Amino acid sequence: MVKKIILGLLLLWVSVALFGCSSGGYPMVSQGLQMRGNAPWTTTTVGSSKTSQTVNITIKDVTTPEGSEPAFVGSNGVGSAVLFTVKAGTQIQVVINNQDSMPHTFTVGNLSISESIAPLAVTKFKLFVSSPGTYSWNCEVPCGDWVMNHIGYMKGSFNVVG
């Protein structure tokens, strides 16, 4: 199990090193994919249409029963099961400011989305979901036993309303 975790972290680190490193101490900005369409989504190039809402998320250290561990923090605050709520059929720009020194992912399995988030970087991607519902997200990079096993830290949901 430990070998798999180390291999996964090594592969993620190599991906970040090959496909996007920051320079000069400034945060790197990663432009991801625009999720758009009716399936409930398809992908197109970023910048092809206007964004109607921006969702800001920060990954930062928070206090847990196990000590200081990183967590995704949205507009609902630390430990909220629902990271954000958006309207169906609205194009959203998601901006994730990773203040942590290790990589993370924003993964939505039932939409086949997995955005890599480099350490100490800002990652931006566009999201368009046409179907209302509650969508589960999680981080695939193990970074703390407590936060990985409690909703609202390294896993949770976001709501798409009609």
Homologous superfamily (CATH) of 2-161 is: Cupredoxins -  blue copper proteins (2.60.40.420)
Q: Is the pTM of this model over 0.85?
A: no
The encoded tokens of residue 109 equal 């399995």
pLDDT digits (tens, 9 = 90+) for 58-86: 999 999 999 999 999 999 999 999 999 99
Distance CA 157, CA 134 (A): 6
Q: What is the per-residue pLDDT for 52?
A: 82
**Distance from the first to the final alpha carbon of the chain:** 42
Radius of gyration, alpha carbons of the chain: 15
Question: Are 129 and 157 within 8 A, CB to CB?
Answer: no
Distance CA 159, CA 162 (A): 10
Looking at the chain, the whole-number percentage of residues with pLDDT higher than 90 is: 62
Q: What is the per-residue pLDDT for 49?
A: 52
